[in-house]
Amino acid sequence: MTSDPVVRNGDASAGAMPDLPGTGDGSQRLHPLSIITTGLRYLRGLILPVIVVMISRGFSGDRVENTVTFGIPLAAALLSVIGGAFHWAFSRYELNGRELEVKTGFISRQQRVVPVERIQAVDFEEAPLERVLGLVRVRVETAASGHEQARIELNALGRKDADLLRGKLLTLRAGMGEAGSPSPVGEATPPGVDLTEGEVLYRLSVRDLLLAGATSGRIGPAAAVVGVLMQFGTDLVPRSWWERVPWDSAAHAGVQAIIAAVIVLGLLAWMLAIGTTVLTFAGFELRAYGRGQNHANGHSHNHNRQLVIRHGLLDRRRRTIPLRRIQAVVTIETVIRQPFGFAEIRIESAGQVGGEEDASGVLVPFIRMADVPALIAAATPEFSVPDDPSALERLPKRAARRYVVPPVLWTAALCLAVNVVFWRWVNGLHWWTLAAAVLVPLAALQGWMEYRAAGWGLTAAHLVLRWRTLTGRHVLVTRRQRLQHRGTTANIFQRRARLATFHAAVASGSSGGHFALPHLEARDADWLLAELQPARTREALRGAAAEP
Amino acid sequence: MTPGTPGLPGSQRTWGEPVADPDSPPEERSWPGLAAAYAVWPEVGEMAPVRFIPPPRLRLDPAARKLWIINNLIGVAVLVAITIGIMLALHRWRDVGMAWTVGVPVAVAVAGCALAWADAAVRYRIWRYEIRADEVDLLHGLITRRRQLVPMARIQHVDTRQGPLERRYRLATVLFFTAAGGMEIPALSVEHAAEVRNQIAALAKVHDDL
């Protein structure tokens, strides 16, 4: 495994990593020239502070002062090189049987072990300088690589070593991995996907598009934009039009004028919201490509299936989602849309291995609630469950208080604070400061609705969670075997009431993917934890397959 | 939607007519699977599958307490320094008496030290972990008790990490990552940390595509 520039662990440097015991002795160093490239990377991080410090010191006529000022970048450079040297001196990597071990760090020592089976890709990166020096930066990708802390990088290897390492890793992986089943996330799209016979699953009609805009939650941001525009309004609106407004009488009208202004602003914001929605989602189309449509046992037939989403008026967007990357499907009925029976469907999908896809996003921006089950059955059959809300397990009655009381207390405290501030320090109480008290019953109502909406269910194949936020009601469907980890939390009050919050996490390229349902019966939460054990899940799936 | 929905094997089995559960009031139970589960809970009979996972049993290294006390004391020192600064400023410009200027930081320091000790002791008492063949099980948290279960088949890689203070007490932290984020077992003895890390790494290799 060794080639020229690599120093074997065991000569002069043997004592460098004494503390953590127990790996083989075949560990290798990075290329010595990595001192320079790593140092340069450190230096790049220092450039901005150095410039800030230099500018803040300024250049006076004093020679000593100037020496210090110019000494700063020199010191930074020196520090970077020393940092690079330390990084080199304390970094080792080793292919130890079926595991890649990487040790780094001087002050905080770190030793990571990556089972070869988990490696999804070994990427090389070469900056121009690295190319000149014949170095390669090696990145080892696993499904966890989306997370900053979990990134595995060998700062600089000689080209030969890098090729050797990659070759070994990939042959090791190929030797074992392909016989088993592919990992659930992050596999590259198979090349043989037939892209000709796309099947349109959903289109957004013009009427739906306008309805989507009219009920979109974008009114808030739009109102802000309109408010800002209003500041410059006099310049934007034709003067003649502006002068026709009866300003004098408006000034006397007081409250009425304010209300009128709010209504006008609201209407403008609304139209803006409709406009942006139309721009974003015009021509929306969801297509499915590849084999394996609507089989009862959809799971095994979906290897090549992809969903393609197209939308946008000016900026045409196109997203491709391999079906097996999808981790969860969330149906959202926003507060505005729910009374009209409309919803939005989002998906949580893993990946970003190639870095080219969205981690999660909109599957369908606007759809009749009644059509949701059919669409999910057609587009993502793996996530289709009988849509009978009453079948979901509700939370115990004593959970209701815990949904209602905290928001009531918060809003009450806020109201009190506002009123006290106005009473003591501003110009006294007003009817509208007192009117803020309506927030309290609203908060109670929201809490009650959140309690009513909360529910969960477990089938042989799926975990279903339903909850409500200020945005609206969410229904999450994920498959049991898509869960990455799960857990419960219970604070002091919950423990006293024998309640617990259930947590579930699915793979997600970015930060998303974590879901929580507060105030379950503690027994139920425990039972869910047990029932979602891998062995239990296998059992349930087998039982379900045997049954029909 | 009918029960025979595509992609939903076994839906008929687990989602159905509400059934009364003898153990709890009828309005709280509507799902036969659950009712059946609790009919035998908590006395786990031979025929009944496990209905809850017994909590993890292993403790961290006892030296964890010292480590955490020192960590906490560092925070307390910062807090005391800030308090001293504020009190000095008040003394100088706001005419606050000498007794307060000395008393408040001292009180903060004393309370801080007591809390630092108590926090470390209680946290150590609560922390439990266990590495089973199929899952890693963690239980910790003072005010919010947190239980985390991570299937081995989902673990992408394992690290050990050692900060300067940890090295002083020959401790190390084991971190492991799934595609949804990372978790850690803090303050194990160095040898044990390496052991745990290798154990997880070995078990995590089992490829399990359900």
CA atoms within 13 Å, Cβ hemisphere of A347: 26
Report pLDDT digits (tens) over A482-510: 898 999 999 888 888 888 999 999 887 65
DSSP line for B24-47 = S-GGG---HHHHHHHHS-SS--SS
- Within a domain: B210: no
Structure token digits, residue A477: 């469907």
In angstroms, rounded to a whole number, what is the distance separating the alpha carbons of residues B209 and A182?
Answer: 7
Report pLDDT digits (tens) over A185-196: 333 434 444 444
In angstroms, rounded to a whole number, what is the distance separating the alpha carbons of residues A122 and B159?
Answer: 19
- Within a domain: B57: no
- Residue B187 belongs to domain with CATH number: 2.30.29.30
Q: Is residue B116 domain-shared with residue B133, that is, in the same domain?
A: no
Give the DSSP H/E element, type plus range, for residue A310: strand A306-311
Q: Is residue B160 domain-shared with residue B199, that is, in the same domain?
A: yes
Band (A97; pLDDT cuts 50, 70, 90): confident
The answer to whether B30 contacts A385, with C-beta atoms less than 8 Å apart, is: no
| A260 Cα to chain B: minimum distance (Å) | 47
Prediction ipTM score:
0.74
Q: Is residue B134 domain-shared with residue B116, that is, in the same domain?
A: no
- What proportions of chain B, in percent to the nearest 5, are helix, strand and coil? 45, 20, 35
Of B106, B125, B144, the residue at which a domain comes to its end is B125
The answer to whether B9 contacts A384, with C-beta atoms less than 8 Å apart, is: no
A297 CB-near residues (< 8 Å, 6+ apart): A545, B7, B9
**What confidence score (pLDDT) does residue A122 get?**
78
Band (B50; pLDDT cuts 50, 70, 90): very low
Structure token digits, residue A8: 């074997």
Regarding predicted confidence, which is higher, A195 or B155? Answer: B155
In angstroms, rounded to a whole number, what is the distance separating the alpha carbons of residues B170 and B61?
Answer: 10
Cα–Cα nearest to A146, from A446, A302, A328, A352 = A352
- Within a domain: B112: yes
Whether the bond into B62 is cis, omega within 30 of 0: no
Of B52, B72, B90, the residue at which a domain comes to its end is B52
Cα–Cα nearest to A522, from A390, A391, A394, A396 = A396
Domains contained in chain A, CATH given: 14-177 (2.30.29), 205-281 (no CATH), 285-395+454-546 (no CATH), 398-450 (no CATH)
Count of A–B CB contacts within 8 Å?
283
Structure-token match 């969330």, residue found = A330
Q: For residues B185, B187, B191 and B193, what is the CA-based torsion angle, rounded to 10 degrees? A: 10
The answer to whether B177 contacts A536, with C-beta atoms less than 8 Å apart, is: no
Residue A21, SS3 per DSSP: coil
Give the DSSP H/E element, type plus range, for residue B176: strand B171-178
Q: Does any CB of chain B come closer than 8 Å to the CB of residue A505? A: yes
- Within a domain: B172: yes
Q: Which amino acid is at B197?
A: R
> pTM of the full predicted structure?
0.72
| H-only helix segments in A370-438 | 372-379, 398-424, 431-435
Q: Is residue B48 domain-shared with residue B86, that is, in the same domain?
A: no
In angstroms, rounded to a whole number, what is the distance separating the alpha carbons of residues B71 and B102?
Answer: 25
Which residue in the set B3, B179, B190 is minimally distant from A19, CB to CB?
Answer: B190
In angstroms, rounded to a whole number, what is the distance separating the alpha carbons of residues B144 and A311?
Answer: 44
Domain that holds residue B89: 64-125
Q: Is residue B88 domain-shared with residue B154, that is, in the same domain?
A: no
A180 pLDDT above the threshold of 70: no
Report pLDDT digits (tens) over A218-242: 777 777 777 777 666 555 555 666 5
Structure-token match 């009364």, residue found = B20
**What confidence score (pLDDT) does residue B177 get?**
87
Tell me the three-class secondary structure of A335-384, residue by residue: CCCHHHCEEEEEEEECCCCCCCCCCEEEEEEEEEHHHHHHHHHHHCHHHC
- Within a domain: B161: yes
Structure-token match 């991080």, residue found = A45
**What confidence score (pLDDT) does residue A261 get?**
79
- Within a domain: B137: yes
Structure token digits, residue B135: 């899952």
Q: Is residue B162 domain-shared with residue B176, that is, in the same domain?
A: yes
Q: Does any CB of chain B come closer than 8 Å to the CB of residue A383? A: yes
Question: Residue B85 burial by CB count (10 A; 0-12/13-18/19+): exposed, middle or buried?
Answer: exposed
Structure token digits, residue A103: 């040790």
Q: Is residue B169 domain-shared with residue B111, that is, in the same domain?
A: no
Q: Which one-letter DSSP state was computed for residue A542?
A: H
Contact between residue B91 and residue B105 where contact means Cβ atoms under 8 Å apart: no
- Within a domain: B58: no
CB < 8 Å from B in window 8-37 of A? 19-22
- Within a domain: B98: yes
In angstroms, rounded to a whole number, what is the distance separating the alpha carbons of residues B16 and A487?
Answer: 27
